Amino acid sequence: MPTRARARRLLALPLATALSATAISTGGLVMGSTQSAANAELSRREHKIHHAVQIARRQIGEPYVYGANGPGAFDCSGLTSYAFHRAGLRMPRTSDAQYDRVRHIRKRNIRRGDLVFFHNGGGVYHVAIYLKRKHGDRIILHAPYPGRTVQRDPIWTRSWWAGTLRKRHR
């Protein structure tokens, strides 16, 4: 015998299916369709950001070359512009132009796929892709400098800003 909660879910299923069918047959013109469209856009953008991280991760081990934007060699902003462009998101070529393009967020709100911009009190001099927290450290993926390769590292300074290509939730 089903529980009351399960019975309610079973009864609600045909209604949800009918509403979905109505949204499809009417081109989405049912109450809440604007919200559904916004959620779908967020979902597509989230997927592209996730894909950009995967593309960047595949570049681990490629050499740093100043001015290079892949494939085969990268500088810091070349790596980020390459990964996001390949994932279907527009991204300028240089780190300062990328900083101007993104939505600035608080450090505490940074999520996987967001960007970390290193600064010297004035201008941006380096950019990386945020991956995760590990043992209290924030881990980034970047092309560090000549003689090194694309790699993961902990953030080494407090002089950084966070930015995202995610849309604001309304």
- The answer to whether 85 is a known catalytic residue is no
Q: Of 85, 104, 119, 126, which is the active-site residue?
A: 126
Strands 124-134 and 137-142: antiparallel
The stretches of the chain forming alpha helices (DSSP H) are 4-25, 33-57, 76-86, 95-101
The C-alpha atoms of residue 137 and residue 154 are separated, in whole angstroms, by 6
Q: Of 104, 135, 142, 169, which is the active-site residue?
A: 142
- The answer to whether 47 is a known catalytic residue is no
In what order do the strands lie in the sheet containing 160-164?
Answer: 103-105, 160-164, 115-119, 124-134, 137-142, 151-154
- The answer to whether 135 is a known catalytic residue is no
- Quote the Cα angle for 146-101-161, to 5°: 65
Q: Of 47, 51, 76, 119, which is the active-site residue?
A: 76
Q: Which residues contact 137 (CB under 8 A, 6 or more apart)?
A: 154, 155
Residues designated catalytic: 76, 126, 142
